[in-house]
Amino acid sequence: MPAGSYAVDALNTEELQPRERADFWTEHIGTYHSRMGFRYAHAENFRGRTVRQRTDTYQLVKYRSDRIEYSRTPHQVRQDPDEDYRLLLPLGGEIVLRQDGEEARLTPGTGALVSFASPFQCLQSDAVDAFILTVPAREVNGRLGCRAPVSAGLDLTRGLGRIVGGMLTALHEEREHLTDPEFDAVSDRLVELVCMLAAGDDRPDVPGQLGEVEAMVRRYVRDHVADPGLTGTTVARALGWSLRQIQLALQQAGTTPRELIREERLRLVRDRLLCAECEHQSITDLAYSAGFSSASALSTAFRRRYGVSPREMRQNPR
């Protein structure tokens, strides 16, 4: 496996004596997440196994276990704050989530975003097989208006939802062949799709659905991000909407036309820096081809977003 902050590890309680398994599970799952409560149906012989992939930004765990109840109390929320979300997708068995007075019953093909910033109960049946992806709060709050749609099970059996499920599966299956930038890049895209799926039809209207406007704007910006003349006004003109409509749609997602364009340009440069076929391009070439006015403007924005300069990321991508 490539070196870097990206790491893969696994655990299996069946390697231990039956009486040690529940304590082992509590200890190790506790290191994956913030403080929680564990209630075992059969603590004397609990069976569970996990495969975890992680970087400094994202964590994906595929796990299988016997019946168990996880909980996070108000005291634990205060004692061990955690603003991040978990995308939970069962592949087998049933999971019941209770949070903020609402309940979601998850079976294979349905998922949910769960906030660790609020108390919850998570009841899992025997032989649950599931993915759980830890997502930074900043990647969700801006797009969904600081809400966790735990009660609205996400349909992952068709359309966009099926694509999300396929990406999670592929991310797990290719775990031994990824670098940390690659794992983060795929996770970024996956979370963007999940937020589009979770937003559904709940966005307030201007003439037309703002959610639809936002999706079209994001797609247009991504396709034309290298155009140095790309602005909110040119996007509005090309799509046939008013600039005000576009601003309102993106405001609901916690961003602006200018911020969205800059973010997509930075992601384009990052992807090219990590692409062997683009090694011959200078930083200046990359800046101009991604719509930046200069290499200096790119370097300033890139360091602010990723914590390193473009040159540093190219020299040490891991």
Pick from 9-18, 20-29, 143-152: least confident: 143-152
Same-domain status, 226 and 117: no
Q: Does residue 177 or residue 206 have the better pLDDT?
A: 177
95-99 vs 102-106, strand pairing mode? antiparallel
Judged against a pLDDT cut of 50, whether residue 57 lies above it is answered with yes
79 in a structural domain: yes
What is the DSSP secondary structure assignment for residue 278, as one 8-state letter?
A: G
Instruction: Specify whether the CB–CB gap between 82 and 148 falls below 8 A.
Output: no
Residue numbers of the domain that contains 276:
205-315
Provide the mean pLDDT of the chain: 86
Q: Which residue has the tokens 């900043």?
A: 138
Same-domain status, 212 and 138: no
What whole-number distance in Å separates Cα of residue 188 and Cα of residue 218?
14
What whole-number distance in Å separates Cα of residue 170 and Cα of residue 316?
26
- ∠ Cα 280 285 288 (to 5°): 155
181 in a structural domain: no
Helix (H) or strand (E) segment spanning residue 112: strand 110-115
What whole-number distance in Å separates Cα of residue 93 and Cα of residue 313?
42
Judged against a pLDDT cut of 60, whether residue 67 lies above it is answered with yes
CATH of the domain at 29: 2.60.120.10
DSSP bridge pairs for 206: 208
Q: Which residue has the tokens 């994202």?
A: 58
Same-domain status, 288 and 221: yes
Same-domain status, 121 and 252: no
Whether this model's pTM surpasses 0.95: no
What whole-number distance in Å separates Cα of residue 121 and Cα of residue 271?
39
Same-domain status, 83 and 222: no
248 in a structural domain: yes
192 in a structural domain: no
Q: Which of 98, 126, 156 is the last residue of a domain?
A: 156
Instruction: Specify whether the CB–CB gap between 312 and 269 falls below 8 A.
Output: no
Same-domain status, 228 and 151: no
Model confidence over 215-256: pLDDT tens digits? 889 889 988 988 888 988 888 888 777 777 788 888 888 889
183 in a structural domain: no
Helix (H) or strand (E) segment spanning residue 12: strand 7-12
CATH of the domain at 241: 1.10.10.60
Same-domain status, 219 and 81: no
217 in a structural domain: yes
Same-domain status, 221 and 297: yes
What whole-number distance in Å separates Cα of residue 292 and Cα of residue 271?
15
Residue 183's closest CA among 170, 166, 171, 191? 171
170 in a structural domain: no
Q: Does residue 214 or residue 36 have the better pLDDT?
A: 36
| pLDDT value at residue 173 | 97
Question: How many domains does the structure of the chain reveal?
Answer: 2
70 in a structural domain: yes
Same-domain status, 149 and 222: no
Model confidence over 288-318: pLDDT tens digits? 988 888 999 999 999 999 889 999 888 876 5
Say which amino acid occupies 173.
Answer: E
